[in-house]
Amino acid sequence: MFHKEGTVIIITTFIIISTLIIINNQFNYNLKTFINIFLILILILILQFFRNPEIKVNYDVDYLLSPVDGKIVIIEEVYEPEFFKDKRLQVSIFMSPINVHVTRYPMNGNIIFSKYHPGKYLVAWHPKSSTKNERTTIVLENEKFGKILYRQIAGKIARRIINYAKVGDQATQGEDAGFIKFGSRIDLFLPLNSKVNVKLNEVVKGGITVISSKKN
């Protein structure tokens, strides 16, 4: 199963690579097989990048779930300057090109803020990428967790952020909230007193791993 955002790229890549293989097969030289294998590998990489596997969402109103697959790279108190304008607990998840790049809503709630920012393309793990890179900021609110901000950040390779969150809509935990093409990062900003259920360098799964919990 592939994400709808990859449809055009997948079809275009398939046509180009198929054409190149057909042309390549018209010639007889030592590297022909190697080139065909290389072209097929490119197609496989594109297909795996846009995969959108079905998951069983770890649904629970007491859970704040990871919005994406990746690795925890930051857990620290920071000043959030765009929406809260105060100190928050930042939890950041880095996605490599081999991760599933679907963004999922981390909790149920009202979408009260959604804004796109053009910007630079620093490597996604750079400290300034959160405020300098191309990004979108989304804020969800519910009675259990209050206001939670998550930010989609484009990386050095990623050049296209897809965001489905619209102000006034209802977010459903685990549902598709967007997509970031080719390597990126997600920043979550939580209240300072939040109980964090993950640790640095932990590998997390979107819609499954519990980032924060209200359960005792």
Would you name the residues annotated as active-site residues? 184
Closest CA to 115 of 163, 182, 66: 163
Cα(15)–Cα(72) distance, integer angstroms: 37
Q: What phi, psi does 164 have (nearest 5°)?
A: -95, -10
- Direct distance between the N- and C-terminal alpha carbons of the chain, in angstroms, rounded to an integer: 37
What type of residue sits at position 171? Answer: A
Cα(65)–Cα(209) distance, integer angstroms: 6
Q: Are 92 and 113 in contact (CB under 8 A)?
A: no
